[in-house]
C-alpha cells in the first residue's frame, strides 16, 4: 500500500521539492544582489554599452545611406523621367512602350541586385502605369487610393526631399499575404523642366536585415534597442506592436527627445533603467535601455556566496532529478512528443510506451485513436476528391455537346444556303478537332497539346463567324511540356472570341504566354476584344468563388480545375478595359 502511494504521488513531491529548493536561493540571491549592487554601474559596462550603441548606429546609418543613395540615383536618372512622362502619351507605339517598361524594370532590378540592403524599388503614378522591381504587383497597388496613403501628402510637402517611414509590411509585392518587413524611403519625382510632380519614388530597405542587426545587440539579459524619430515616435522595434507608438514613459521621452545626454537613467514601474542613445544619419535616434541590475557586476562577496550555494544546490537537484524525475516524466515526454506529431498532422505517429500504469494504458488508447482518425480522414479525403472529379467530368460533358451542337448547327445553315465549300471546310475542321480531342487520354495534357487543340478550335470558329482570329503563342520549350488539366485554356479562348472579338466585327488577336517560376507556372491569355463591363466583371469574380451558374460552364470548369488540382495559393485574375481582356492563371502544384 505504501509503495502504491509513493508511485502515485512521488512525481508531485519531486516537483514541489525542486521548486522549493530552487526558489530559496533565487529569492535570497535576488534580494542580496539588488541591495548591494543597485547603485553600482561599472565604468567598463558603460563604455561597453556606448561602444555597442555607436557601432549599431554606424551600421544602421550605413544601411540608411545605401537607401538614400539609391533613391538619389533613381531621382536623378533622366531616362527614367522620360519613360514616366511618355507613359501617358497615346501616340507611343506598343513596341516603344514595351521597350520602355522592360528597360525600367531591368534598371530597377539591377539596382536591387547590386545592394543586399535594398529590398524593393517602386516608381508609382496616380494615373497610368507604375513600375517596380522583383514581384511588384500593380493589382495590389490598385487596391489603394493614393490620397489614402500616408506617405503621399508627406512626400508632396517635402517637395522632392526624402520621407522616412516606419518599419512596415510591403503592400505592393508578391501574390499572397504580406510577410516581408521593409523600411520605406519616399520622395516625389520631379519634371526637371518645370519641377512639377510626375511620380513617386519608393525605396524599400530590407526590414528583416535591420531587425536582425538590432536583435543581435545585447544589453544585459532583457535589454533592447529601438529607433525613434525626432518626435519620439517608435520607427523600428523588434516588438512590432510598439512601432508607430509614441514613447509612453515621460521620463524616457524627456531624455530621448529633449536632452542631449547620450547616457541617462530613469525608472520604469519602479525599476531603475539605464539608457544610451546615438543619432542616425537620417535624423532618427537609436535608443538602448536595460535594467541596471542586469549590467552591474556582482561584488566579490556575492560571487563567492552565489557560486557556493549554486554548486551545492545544483548537485542536490541534479541527483534527485536524474534518479527520480526522469523515471517519472520520461514516459510522459515520449507520449507528449507523439501527440505533438499528431497535432502537426502526422497520424502515423505511434507511442512505444509499454508500462502497466495509467500512462501505458493511455498510450495504447492513443495508438488506437490515431489509427481510427487517420483512416477516417483518408476516407473523407478520397470522397472529396472523387466528388470534385465527378463534378469536373459533368461540366466537361456539358461543354462538349454544347460545342458540338453549335458546330453542327452552323454546318446545317451553310448547307441550307448552299455554301458547300464553307460547309465542307467546317466539316474538315470539326473532324480534325474531334480527332484531337478523342486522342487525349487521362486528366492532364501538356500546354503544347492544349494550344494545338485551341488552334484547331479557332479554325472552326473562323468559318462559323466569317472572321479571322490570330493566335500568338509565347513560351519556351520547357514550359510547353508542362502538364495542365484538359480544356483549361479552351473555355477562356472561346469566351474571348464569342464575347470579346466577335462583337467588334474585326480581326481578332489572341496571345497566350506562359512562364515558369520557382513554385509553379504563370499563364496569361490576352485578347483585343471589347472588354468586359465593370459590373459584369465584378459579378464573374464574385460568382466564381461561390460556383454560381452566372459564371458559365466554361469558366466554371476553369475555376473548379484550379481549386481541385492546385494549391490555395493559385489564382485566376481577370483584368479588362475597352482595349481588351487579360486572364492570368497562377498555377502552384499542391505539396
pLDDT in tens, 459-499: 888 888 888 999 999 998 889 999 998 888 988 998 899 88
State the Cα angle at 186 between 184 and 189, rounded to 5°.
150
Q: Mean pLDDT for the chain?
A: 80
Among 296, 330, 360, the domain-final residue is 296
Q: Which three cell numbers stand for residue 64?
A: 540608411
For 483, which DSSP code? E
Q: 80-110: per-residue pLDDT in tens?
A: 988 988 888 888 888 888 998 899 999 999 9
In this structure, of 144-158, 160-174, 207-221, 313-327, the range with the lowest mean pLDDT score is 313-327
350 occurs within a structural domain: no
If asked whether residues 528 and 437 sit together in one domain, one would say: yes
Widest Cα–Cα separation across the chain:
115
Considering the domain architecture, whether residues 56 and 106 belong to the same structural domain is answered as: yes
Q: How far is 9 from 203, CA to CA, in rounded Å?
A: 63
Question: Which three cell numbers, joined as nine digits, stand for 202?
Answer: 519608393
**200 in Cβ contact with 210 (< 8 Å):** no
| Residues 145 and 212 reside in one and the same domain | yes
State whether 313 and 259 are in the same domain.
no
Nearest Cα neighbor of 486 from 427, 574, 383, 564 is 564
Q: What is the pLDDT of residues 337-396, one digit of tens each?
A: 767 776 766 666 667 666 666 666 777 777 777 777 777 777 777 766 656 665 555 455
Q: Which domain CATH number covers 513?
A: 3.30.565.10
- Read off the pLDDT band of 186 (50, 70, 90): very high
| CA dist., res. 275 & res. 256, Å (int) | 9
pLDDT at 285: 94
Most confident of the following: 186-195, 451-460, 515-524: 515-524
Domain boundary among the residues 235, 269, 296 is at: 296
Distance CA 68, CA 421 (A): 70
Q: What pLDDT, on the 0 to 100 scale, is given for residue 394?
A: 47
Q: Are residues 496 and 558 in the same domain?
A: yes
Residue 13: which pLDDT band, with cuts at 50, 70 and 90? low
Model pLDDT, residue 300? 45
Q: Are residues 190 and 290 in the same domain?
A: yes
Please give the residue that has the higher pLDDT: either 201 or 30.
Answer: 201
1 CB-contact burial (10 Å; exposed 0-12 / middle 13-18 / buried 19+): exposed
In a domain, 394, yes or no: yes
Q: Is 362 or 53 the better-scoring residue by pLDDT?
A: 53
If pLDDT is split at 50, 70 and 90, which confidence band does 71 have?
very high
For 532-588, where are the alpha helices, taking DSSP H only?
Answer: 534-546, 553-565
Instruction: Determine what percent of the chain is predicted with pLDDT higher than 90.
Output: 27
For residue 356, tell me if it sits in a domain.
no
* Contact by Cβ (8 Å): 249, 268: yes
In the chain, the number of structural domains is 3
Same domain? For 17 and 54 the reply is: no
Are 168 and 178 contained in the same domain?
A: yes
Under the banding of pLDDT at 50, 70 and 90, the label for residue 1 is very low
φ/ψ (deg, to 5) at 10: -70, -40
* Tens-place pLDDT, residues 250-263: 999 999 999 888 99
Residue 19 lies in a domain: yes
In a domain, 540, yes or no: yes
**34 or 182, greater pLDDT:** 182
**Domain boundary pick from 232, 264, 296:** 296
357 lies in some domain? no
Average pLDDT of 305-327? 68
pLDDT of residue 225: 93
- What cell numbers appear for 247 in the block? 514613447
Expressed as residue numbers, the domain containing 465 is 381-587
Q: With H, G, I as helix, E, B as strand and everything else as coil, classify residue 418.
A: coil
59-68, 382-391, 552-561: segment of lowest average pLDDT: 382-391
In this structure, is residue 490 part of a structural domain?
A: yes
pLDDT at 548 over 50: no
CATH number of the domain where residue 267 is located: 3.30.450.20
Residue 277 β-bridge partners: 287
Q: What is the enclosing helix (H) or strand (E) of 101?
A: helix 94-113
Residues 76 and 196 in one domain: yes
| Within-domain flag for 366 | no
Going by pLDDT thresholds of 50, 70 and 90, the confidence category of residue 550 is very low
pTM of structure: 0.46
Q: Looking at 97-106, 169-178, 264-273, 442-451, which range is the least confident one?
A: 169-178
Is pLDDT at 571 greater than 50 in this prediction? yes
Whether residue 143 sits in one domain with residue 19: no
The verdict on 283 and 187 lying in the same domain is: yes
Same domain, 468 and 572: yes
Comparing 191 with 361, the larger pLDDT belongs to 191
Amino acid at each position: 500500500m505504501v509503495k502504491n502511494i509513493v508511485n502515485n504521488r512521488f512525481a508531485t513531491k519531486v516537483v514541489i521539492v525542486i521548486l522549493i529548493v530552487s526558489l530559496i536561493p533565487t529569492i535570497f540571491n535576488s534580494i542580496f544582489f539588488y541591495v548591494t549592487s543597485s547603485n553600482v554601474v561599472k565604468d567598463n559596462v558603460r563604455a561597453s554599452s556606448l561602444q555597442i550603441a555607436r557601432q549599431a548606429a554606424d551600421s544602421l546609418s550605413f544601411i540608411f545611406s545605401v537607401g538614400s543613395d539609391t533613391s538619389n540615383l533613381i531621382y536623378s536618372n533622366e531616362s527614367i523621367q522620360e519613360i514616366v512622362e511618355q507613359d501617358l502619351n497615346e501616340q507611343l507605339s506598343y513596341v516603344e512602350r514595351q521597350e520602355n517598361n522592360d528597360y525600367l524594370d531591368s534598371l530597377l532590378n539591377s539596382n536591387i541586385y547590386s545592394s543586399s540592403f535594398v529590398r524593393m524599388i517602386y516608381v508609382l503614378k496616380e494615373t497610368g502605369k507604375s513600375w517596380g522591381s522583383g514581384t511588384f504587383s500593380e493589382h495590389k497597388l490598385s487596391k489603394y487610393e493614393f490620397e489614402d496613403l500616408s506617405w503621399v501628402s508627406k512626400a508632396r510637402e517635402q517637395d522632392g526631399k526624402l520621407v522616412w517611414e516606419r518599419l512596415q509590411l510591403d503592400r505592393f509585392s508578391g501574390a499572397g499575404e504580406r510577410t516581408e518587413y521593409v523600411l520605406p524611403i519616399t520622395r516625389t519625382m520631379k519634371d526637371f523642366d518645370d519641377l512639377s510632380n510626375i511620380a513617386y519614388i519608393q525605396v524599400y530597405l530590407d526590414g528583416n536585415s535591420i531587425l536582425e542587426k538590432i536583435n543581435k545587440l545585447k544589453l544585459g539579459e532583457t535589454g533592447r534597442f529601438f529607433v525613434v524619430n525626432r518626435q519620439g515616435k517608435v520607427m523600428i522595434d523588434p516588438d512590432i506592436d510598439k512601432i508607430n507608438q509614441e514613447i509612453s514613459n515621460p521620463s524616457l521621452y524627456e531624455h530621448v527627445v529633449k536632452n542631449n545626454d547620450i547616457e541617462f537613467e530613469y525608472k520604469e514601474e519602479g525599476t531603475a533603467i539605464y539608457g544610451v542613445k546615438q543619432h542616425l544619419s537620417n535624423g532618427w535616434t537609436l535608443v538602448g535601455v536595460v535594467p541596471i541590475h542586469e549590467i552591474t557586476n556582482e561584488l566579490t562577496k556575492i560571487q563567492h556566496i552565489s557560486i557556493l550555494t549554486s554548486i551545492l544546490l545544483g548537485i542536490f537537484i541534479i541527483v534527485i532529478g536524474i534518479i527520480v524525475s526522469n523515471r517519472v516524466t520520461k514516459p510522459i515526454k515520449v507520449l507528449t512528443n507523439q501527440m505533438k506529431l499528431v497535432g502537426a498532422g502526422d497520424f502515423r505517429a505511434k507511442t512505444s510506451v509499454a508500462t502497466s500504469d495509467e500512462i501505458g494504458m493511455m498510450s495504447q488508447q492513443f495508438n488506437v485513436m490515431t489509427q481510427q482518425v487517420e483512416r477516417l480522414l483518408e476516407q473523407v479525403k478520397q470522397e472529396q476528391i472523387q466528388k470534385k472529379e465527378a463534378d469536373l467530368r459533368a461540366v466537361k460533358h456539358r461543354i462538349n455537346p454544347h460545342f458540338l451542337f453549335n458546330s453542327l448547327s452552323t454546318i446545317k445553315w451553310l448547307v441550307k444556303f448552299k455554301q458547300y465549300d464553307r460547309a465542307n471546310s467546317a466539316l474538315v475542321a470539326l473532324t480534325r478537332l474531334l480527332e484531337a480531342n478523342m486522342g487525349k487520354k487521362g486528366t492532364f495534357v501538356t500546354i503544347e497539346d492544349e494550344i494545338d487543340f485551341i488552334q484547331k478550335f479557332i479554325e472552326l470558329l473562323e468559318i462559323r463567324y466569317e472572321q479571322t482570329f490570330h493566335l500568338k503563342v509565347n513560351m519556351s520549350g520547357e514550359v510547353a511540356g508542362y502538364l495542365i488539366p484538359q480544356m483549361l485554356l479552351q473555355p477562356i479562348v472561346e469566351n474571348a472570341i464569342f464575347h470579346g472579338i466577335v462583337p467588334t466585327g474585326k480581326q481578332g488577336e489572341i496571345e497566350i504566354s506562359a512562364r515558369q517560376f520557382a513554385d509553379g507556372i504563370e499563364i496569361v491569355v490576352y485578347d483585343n476584344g471589347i472588354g468586359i463591363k465593370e459590373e459584369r466583371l465584378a459579378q464573374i469574380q464574385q460568382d466564381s468563388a461561390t460556383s454560381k451558374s452566372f459564371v458559365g460552364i466554361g469558366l466554371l470548369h476553369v475555376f473548379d480545375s484550379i481549386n481541385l488540382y492546385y494549391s490555395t495559393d493559385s489564382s485566376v485574375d481577370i483584368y479588362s478595359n475597352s482595349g481588351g481582356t487579360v486572364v492570368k492563371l497562377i498555377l502552384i502544384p499542391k505539396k
